[in-house]
Structure formats: structure tokens, C-alpha cells
Amino acid sequence: MRWTRISKKNLISGIICVVLLVCTYLIYSDAYQKFGRYKEDTVTIGVFSDSYWEVQNGYSYRILEDAVSVFEKEHPGVQVEYTSGILKEDYPEWLSEQMLSGSAPDVFFVLADNFTDFAEIGVLKELDTFIEADPEFDKEAFYSPAYLSGKYDKIQYALPYECAPKLMFVNKSILDREGIDMPDEDWDWDDFYEICSKVTKDTDGDGTLDQYGVVEYTWKEAFESNNVKLFNDRGTECYLTGDNVGTALSFLEKLKALNGSYNVSGRDFDLGNVAFQPMLFSGYRAYKPYPLRVKKYSSFEWECIPMPAGPLGDNISALDTLLIGMNEKTKYPQYAWDFIKILTCDPKIQSEIFSYSEGVSVLKEVTEVDQTLFRLIESAGNSEGLNLKMLSRIVENAAAVSRFRDYEQVTAEVDRAVKEIINGDSNISMEQIIWNREVNKYLGK
């Protein structure tokens, strides 16, 4: 009698215990959401309203809307939703909030600055399985630096949507005035320095310099075009001691010495007093067309060419890429993948980037076709200074930036180091070793 009572009690306890454990698992894995679902399938998209390239263009959701209609035609019965009105500056915070409260969209745009954090946190789904399983998908169609920018720790977490390489803006008016020819596309640091030293002068004879060679040409640009790999992939080690770094630093020191004690600013370029300024391709796209051109650079003629090559590097620069990722916890991974594919791999959608955005399509075939050139000419008013083959080559050869956690803080640290080395009086290679140790110490933390 007693035995039965106790075993009955144990049995009931065990059953309730198992039920509780199953409930806990369902809550943890979000599987409970599958019960009692009555709405039709809805894929949600995380997107911001303004341009990634920080220029006003008025086409906020144009490309996205087109992609949605393509998707909904392919998947009848599946709806696509997105929250509109989120500004780019608020977008990371908005996305983080959605993630924290467990309501993140199935597919979302990922800003280059946030990509590493998101991959590290684990909110991005690994796309390698989809890529392998999908015969239609061809990663060779992408510009490889753009494609690689969605890779973190050897895993593809996101696909590129649009990109923009860094170009050198040239004030043609100054060059014409000084009787200097436009540099070739494959110009190097020597040509660059020569022009800079020629244009740096006191034009009005008041004893102070008022025309300068270059502005905002930092160690980043110098390192990129001198083939410097500054960090290892995981961001645990810094290589500040190499020869590439040494030559880049001496070059920067030389450039700086041209200006004496004066600190050249972006405003000097806007006023037409500086010959060169590195700028994203999107900037060129934004200010080349008629209305904005008047607003900003009205006092001089300007063009853009690739960055100058360092002695140990090439005419290459960094690529800024806007990525698209999938939510790790999405309920519709296949729909999400299909939608990502439409946005990134559909040539029709990608070609709209040249119409409604300021970036470059990440697909080679889209960027290189003549149709694109016509569009650019149409929007720019003339074809002057724009060479599509050159653009394609710049993008293809762009430096793949390896990003990692705390990338911003680490580059700030390198910033400080470079400034100290250039401003310091002592031997550069000595300083390199000292600062390399400093930065590595920071990385070790």
C-alpha cells in the first residue's frame, strides 16, 4: 500500500518534471512560436531609410520595393514587411533593440562597422550551408573584396549589397594653373609627391602657404596602397614593424613636412586650395551631378583617379561595403535566403544601384556593362573622367579589410602611434618597434 502511494507520487513528479523541462526547451529555442500561428508567412526586413553613403537622394526604399515585388512574384502567399523611417544613424541601435527583445527581422542590412560585432554576438546566421546547397549561387560573380567583407573567422555571415571604393579627387583647376598634366591611372608615390611639392606654395606672396598638395591622406590610405597587412585575421596581433609600414611612414612624414606647421583641413579643399583629397566613389557620384555639384565644389573643376601606388604596393584602396545578413533565429531561413539572393545576385536589382544609390554594384557583370555607363553619363551629365574599366579594376583590387572586435578602438590606437612616430624626432624603425609593442599590448587586453 505504502509502496504504491510513493511510486504514484514519484511518477506524477517525474511527469510534471519532464513537462517543465520540455516547456523550458520550447521557450529557449523559440519553438513555442510555431504553436498557434495563424498569420500567413511574413518575412521581415531590417532596413534604414536614408542612403548608406550619407547623401540625400530621395529614393529611400526604391530598390528594396522592387526586390520585394520580385520576391513576392516568386513566392506567392509570402509577405515581406519592413519598418520604414529608421535613419542610418539610429539603425544599429534599433537593430540591437530588436535583437535584445527577440524580435529582430529575418533579413537585415548590416553596416560595415557593425558586422564584426554582430558575427561575434551570434545574431548572424552562417550562410555557408545555403551557399553550398544552392546551385544557382555563384560567388565568382561578386567582386572578391566585396564578397570577403561578409566573411568573419572563415565563415560567410553576410553577402555584399553595394560597395564604394576610395578614389583620389583631383582639383584639375590647380593642376592646369601650375601646368601639370593629370597623373596616369598607375601613378605612384613619387609622382604624387612631386605634384604635391610643386603645388605647395604661397600664391599671393603674403609669406604664408595658401595652396597645398593633399588633405586627409592618412596612414590608412598609405598602408593600403603599400601592401601593408596591419593585423592578423582575428585581430590579436599587430604588424607595425614591417618595411611596408616603414616606407609608408617616411612618405607620410615627407608629405607632412611640405606644409610646414600648417594643418590642412577639408575646408581648404572645398575652397579649391588643395590639389588632392581621397574620397569614396559615392562622394563622386553624389556631387558630380548638376544640382549638388553647384552646392559644394563650384569654384573648380575636379576629377577622380585611383590612389597612388606605394613602392611596395599597387594603386589600390579600401572598399566600403554594405552587407545583408540573415537572423540566426529566423523562422523562414529559406525565404530569407531567397530574398538575400534577389537583393545581391539579381542583375536587374543590382543595376538599380547605379540609378537610385551612389555605390557600385557588387556584381562584376552589372558594373562592367555599357548600359551602366549610359546611366552614369545620364546622371552625371558628361562622361568625363569616368572610366568603367578603371572602376571595375579598382573594386576588384581593393584591399580586403580584416575587421574584428574593437576594430575602431584599435585603429584609434594605431592613429595615435602613427601621429607620435611622424611627429617624433627619433628614428622611425626604432619607434615602429616601440609602438608595435604598445599596440600589441592593447590588443592583448
Partner 1 sequence: MEGKKSSDYVLLFMKNLNLIIIIYIAALMAYSISGYLKESSAGEFLAKIGRLPISAWKLPVMALCLYAACLLLMRMEEVRGLALAIKISLELVISFFISYILGFCYTGIVLLVLANTMKQFPKSTWKFPFAVGICLIYLLLDFDLISVYFSFIPLEVYLEYFQSDVRSVLMGLVNVSGSMNTFTFLVFMILLVRLQMNEKEKILTLNEQLNTANMELYRANVRLEEYAKESERLAEARERNRLAREIHDTLGHALTGIITGIDACKALMETAPEAANGQLTAIADVARSGLTDVRRSIKALRPDVLDKLELEQALMQVIHKMHVATGAQIEFQCAARLNCLNEDEENMVYRIVQECITNAIRHGQADKIWIQIDREYNMLKIHIKDNGTGCEDIKEGFGLHHMEERLTMLQGTLNYSGSGGFTVEARIPIRWGREDEHDD
DSSP state at residue 35: T
Q: Using CB under 8 A as the criterion, what x/- string covers residues 20-49 for binding partner 1?
A: xx-xx--xx---------------------
**Burial degree of 58 (CB within 10 A; 0-12, 13-18, 19+):** exposed
Quote the least distance from Cβ 49 to partner 1, whole Å.
18
- 8 touches partner 1 (CB under 8 A): no
203 Cβ contact list (under 8 Å, min separation 6): 210, 211
Q: Which is nearer to partner 1, 118 or 130 (CB)?
A: 118
66 Cβ contact list (under 8 Å, min separation 6): 348, 349, 352
**Burial degree of 261 (CB within 10 A; 0-12, 13-18, 19+):** exposed
Quote the least distance from Cβ 103 to partner 1, whole Å.
9
- 97 touches partner 1 (CB under 8 A): yes
- 17 touches partner 1 (CB under 8 A): yes
Please state at what angle helix 407-423 crosses helix 112-121, rounded to 10 degrees. 130
Q: Using CB under 8 A as the criterion, what x/- string covers residues 328-367 for binding partner 1?
A: x---------------------------------------
Binding segment (CB under 8 A) for partner 1, from list 36-44, 92-100, 260-268, 332-340: 92-100
Give Cα separations from 366 to 35, 52, 91, 350 (angstroms): 44, 20, 28, 7
# residues near partner 1 by CB under 8 A = 29
Quote the least distance from Cβ 37 to partner 1, whole Å.
18
The total of other beta-carbon atoms located within 10 Å of residue 431's CB is: 20
The total of other beta-carbon atoms located within 10 Å of residue 80's CB is: 21
Q: Which is nearer to partner 1, 216 or 328 (CB)?
A: 328
- 405 touches partner 1 (CB under 8 A): yes
**Residue 321 forms beta bridges with which residues?**
163
Q: Which is nearer to partner 1, 83 or 429 (CB)?
A: 83
Q: Which is nearer to partner 1, 1 or 6 (CB)?
A: 6
- 234 touches partner 1 (CB under 8 A): no
Span between the terminal Cα atoms of the chain, in Å: 66
Quote the least distance from Cβ 292 to partner 1, whole Å.
31
- 56 touches partner 1 (CB under 8 A): no
- Cell numbers 602611434 correspond to what residue? 417
275 closest CA partner among 201, 380, 220: 201
How far is Cα 66 from Cα 40, in angstroms, rounded to an integer?
21
Q: Which is nearer to partner 1, 21 or 257 (CB)?
A: 21
- 102 touches partner 1 (CB under 8 A): yes
Q: Is 271 within 8 Å of 189 (Cβ atoms)?
A: no
Q: Which is nearer to partner 1, 2 or 39 (CB)?
A: 2
- 6 touches partner 1 (CB under 8 A): yes
When binding is defined by CB under 8 A, the residue of 33, 81, 122, 265 that contacts partner 1 is: 122
Quote the least distance from Cβ 335 to partner 1, whole Å.
22
How far is Cα 157 from Cα 114, in angstroms, rounded to an integer?
12
Q: Using CB under 8 A as the criterion, what x/- string covers residues 422-441 for binding partner 1?
A: --------------------
**Residue 124 forms beta bridges with which residues?**
327
63 Cβ contact list (under 8 Å, min separation 6): 343, 349, 352, 353, 356, 357
Binding segment (CB under 8 A) for partner 1, from list 117-125, 154-162, 383-391, 414-422: 117-125
232 grid coordinates:
592578423
The type of residue at 254 is K
- 99 touches partner 1 (CB under 8 A): yes
Q: Which is nearer to partner 1, 21 or 271 (CB)?
A: 21
Binding segment (CB under 8 A) for partner 1, from list 116-124, 264-272, 306-314, 357-365: 116-124
DSSP state at residue 84: -
- 294 touches partner 1 (CB under 8 A): no
Under the rule (CB under 8 A), what is the footprint of partner 1?
6, 9-10, 13-14, 16-17, 20-21, 23-24, 27-28, 92-93, 95-97, 99-102, 117, 120-123, 328, 405
